[in-house]
Amino acid sequence: MARGLIAGEGHVLTPERFHQVFLLTAIIPLLSIPGFLYLRAEDGVQVSGHVRGSRK
């Protein structure tokens, strides 16, 4: 998919443009980082089943 965005429909991806595909695939996950910053410690307990215990 990323290769198609960079090369365009019907074009061949050349080595000169291949670095753009790597850059695009690196940027997409980086865009999700702000969403993870808003997670709380108890988020996901219902899915994982893990309960944080109190330290004694």
Rounded CA-CA distance 54/39 in Å is 20
Cβ count within 10 A of residue 43? 11
Give me the mean pLDDT over the 16-30 stretch: 85
The total number of structural domains in the chain stands at: 1
pTM of the model: 0.47
Is residue 12 domain-resident? Answer: yes
Identify whether 41 is part of a domain: no
| Domain-embedded: residue 1 | yes
Residue 11 located in a structural domain: yes
Does a structural domain hold residue 20?
Answer: yes
Decide if pLDDT at 47 tops 60.
Answer: yes
Residue 31 banded pLDDT, cuts 50, 70, 90: very high
Amino acid identity for residue 20 in this structure: Q
More confident position, 5 or 18: 18
Q: pLDDT band for 45, please (50, 70, 90 cuts).
A: confident
In a domain, 50, yes or no: no
Q: In the chain, which residue ranges form alpha helices assigned H by DSSP?
A: 2-7, 15-30, 33-37, 45-48
Residue 6 above 80 pLDDT?
Answer: no
In a domain, 14, yes or no: yes
Q: Which domain holds residue 14?
A: 1-33
